[in-house]
A and B are shown apart, each in its own frame.
Chain A
Amino acid sequence: MSAAIQAPAAMPERAETPTWQSLRRFSGDGFSVAAAIVVLIFVLLAVLAPWIAPHDPYETDLLRRLQPPAWMEGGEWSYILGCDALGRDILSRIIYGSQVSITIGLAVVLISTAIGTVLGLAAGYMRGWVDIAISRVVDILLGFPYLIFAIALMAMMGPGLQNIILALVYKEWVVPARVVRGEVLAAREMEYVEAARAIGAPRLHIMFREILPNILSPVIVVSTIRMAHVIILEASLSFLGIGVQPPTASWGSMVADGRSFVLDAWWVSTFPGIAILVLVLSINVASQGLRDAFDPKFSD
Chain B
Amino acid sequence: MKPLALIGRIAQLLPVLLGVSVIVFVMMALTPGDPVEIMLADQQATPEQAQALRHDMGLDRPALERFGIFIGNALTGNFGLSFFHRRPVFDVIAERLPATIELTLAALLLALAISIPLGVVAAVKKNRLVDRLAAIGSLFGVSLPGFWFGIILIILFAVQMRWLPVSGRMDFACEVAPITRLMTIDSLLRGRPDCFADALSHLILPALTLALPMAAVLTRVQRAAMLEVLRSDYIVFAQAKGLSRRRILWRHALKNALVPTVTVAAIETGSLLGGNMVVETVFGWPGLGRLVVESIFVRNYPLVQAAVLLYAVTYVLLNFVADILYTLLNPRVRL
Contact flag (A, B; Cβ within 8 A): yes
Q: Are B139 and A147 in contact, CB atoms less than 8 angstroms apart?
A: no
B214 touches A (CB below 8 Å)? no
B161 touches A (CB below 8 Å)? no
**Cross-interface CB contact of B296 among A151, A228, A270, A272, cutoff 8 Å:** A151
> Using an 8 Å CB-CB cutoff, how does the interface string of A138-157 with B read, 1 for contact, 0 for none?
01110111111001111110
Q: Are A156 and B28 in contact, CB atoms less than 8 angstroms apart?
A: yes
**Cross-interface CB contact of A236 among B145, B155, B224, cutoff 8 Å:** B145
**Cross-interface CB contact of A143 among B19, B142, B224, B296, cutoff 8 Å:** B19
- Please measure, in the bound complex, the distance between the C-alpha atom of A143 and the C-alpha atom of B311, giving whole angstroms: 9
Which chain B residues (92-141) contact chain A, with CB distance < 8 Å? 139-140
Hey, which chain A residues are within 8 Å of B155, CB to CB?
A: 262, 266, 269-270
- Please measure, in the bound complex, the distance between the C-alpha atom of A148 and the C-alpha atom of B276, giving whole angstroms: 10
Most buried by B among A136, A151, A152: A152
Q: Are B151 and A148 in contact, CB atoms less than 8 angstroms apart?
A: no
Chain A's nearest CB lies how many Å from the CB of B100?
A: 12
Which residue of chain B lies nearest to A156 when distances are taken between CB atoms in the complex?
A: B31
B292 touches A (CB below 8 Å)? yes
Hey, which chain A residues are within 8 Å of B32, CB to CB?
A: 156, 158
The main secondary structure of chain A at its interface with chain B is helix
Could you list which residues of chain B lie within 8 angstroms of chain A, going by C-beta atoms? 15-17, 19-20, 23-24, 27-28, 30-32, 139-140, 142-149, 151-152, 154-155, 159, 166, 224, 227, 270-271, 273-275, 277-278, 281-282, 292-293, 296-297, 301, 304, 308, 311-312, 315-316
Hey, which chain B residues are within 8 Å of A272, CB to CB?
A: 148
Hey, which chain A residues are within 8 Å of B31, CB to CB?
A: 155-156
Q: Are B23 and A155 in contact, CB atoms less than 8 angstroms apart?
A: no
A242 touches B (CB below 8 Å)? yes
A206 touches B (CB below 8 Å)? no
A145-B311, A270-B155, A285-B139 given as contacts; is B24 within 8 A of A152 (CB)? yes
**Cross-interface CB contact of A262 among B16, B20, B154, cutoff 8 Å:** B154
Chain A's nearest CB lies how many Å from the CB of B163?
A: 15
> Using an 8 Å CB-CB cutoff, how does the interface string of A223-243 with B read, 1 for contact, 0 for none?
000001000100110011110
Q: Are A240 and B304 in contact, CB atoms less than 8 angstroms apart?
A: no
Q: Are B16 and A145 in contact, CB atoms less than 8 angstroms apart?
A: no
A239-B278, A241-B297, A259-B151 given as contacts; is B315 within 8 A of A145 (CB)? yes
A252-B147, A273-B152, A276-B145 given as contacts; is B315 within 8 A of A263 (CB)? no
Q: Are B159 and A262 in contact, CB atoms less than 8 angstroms apart?
A: yes
Chain B's nearest CB lies how many Å from the CB of A285?
A: 6
A110 touches B (CB below 8 Å)? no
Chain A's nearest CB lies how many Å from the CB of B180?
A: 25
**Cross-interface CB contact of B274 among A143, A147, A241, cutoff 8 Å:** A147
CB<8 Å pairs between A and B, sample of 7:
A144-B315, A147-B278, A152-B304, A239-B147, A239-B148, A242-B293, A270-B151
Given known contacts A256-B147, A277-B140, what 17 new A-B pairs fall within 8 Å (CB)?
A: A137-B19, A140-B23, A143-B17, A146-B271, A147-B277, A148-B308, A151-B274, A153-B27, A228-B142, A232-B145, A239-B278, A255-B148, A262-B155, A262-B166, A269-B148, A277-B145, A281-B139
**Count: A-B pairs, CB below 8 Å:** 139
Most buried by B among A151, A284, A288: A151
Q: Are B19 and A136 in contact, CB atoms less than 8 angstroms apart?
A: yes
Q: Are A228 and B143 in contact, CB atoms less than 8 angstroms apart?
A: yes
Q: Are A151 and B139 in contact, CB atoms less than 8 angstroms apart?
A: no
For the complex of A and B, 6 pairs with smallest distance between CB atoms = A273-B148, A147-B274, A140-B19, A145-B274, A281-B143, A280-B143
Q: Are A147 and B275 in contact, CB atoms less than 8 angstroms apart?
A: yes
Q: Are B143 and A240 in contact, CB atoms less than 8 angstroms apart?
A: no
Hey, which chain A residues are within 8 Å of B282, CB to CB?
A: 259
How many chain A residues touch B (Cβ–Cβ < 8 Å)? 46
Chain B's nearest CB lies how many Å from the CB of A264?
A: 9
- Please measure, in the bound complex, the distance between the C-alpha atom of A273 and the C-alpha atom of B145, giving whole angstroms: 7
A191 touches B (CB below 8 Å)? no
A300 touches B (CB below 8 Å)? yes
A69 touches B (CB below 8 Å)? no
A270-B152, A270-B155, A300-B224 given as contacts; is B143 within 8 A of A277 (CB)? yes
Q: Are A155 and B145 in contact, CB atoms less than 8 angstroms apart?
A: no
**Cross-interface CB contact of A281 among B20, B27, B140, B147, cutoff 8 Å:** B140
- Please measure, in the bound complex, the distance between the C-alpha atom of A105 and the C-alpha atom of B119, giving whole angstroms: 31
Q: Are A143 and B145 in contact, CB atoms less than 8 angstroms apart?
A: no
A140-B16, A140-B23 given as contacts; is B148 within 8 A of A276 (CB)? yes
Chain B's nearest CB lies how many Å from the CB of A281?
A: 4
Which chain A residues (148-188) contact chain B, with CB distance < 8 Å? 148, 151-156, 158
A258 touches B (CB below 8 Å)? yes
- Please measure, in the bound complex, the distance between the C-alpha atom of A162 and the C-alpha atom of B85, giving whole angstroms: 32
Q: Are B19 and A240 in contact, CB atoms less than 8 angstroms apart?
A: no
- Please measure, in the bound complex, the distance between the C-alpha atom of A228 and the C-alpha atom of B142, giving whole angstroms: 9
Hey, which chain A residues are within 8 Å of B149, CB to CB?
A: 273
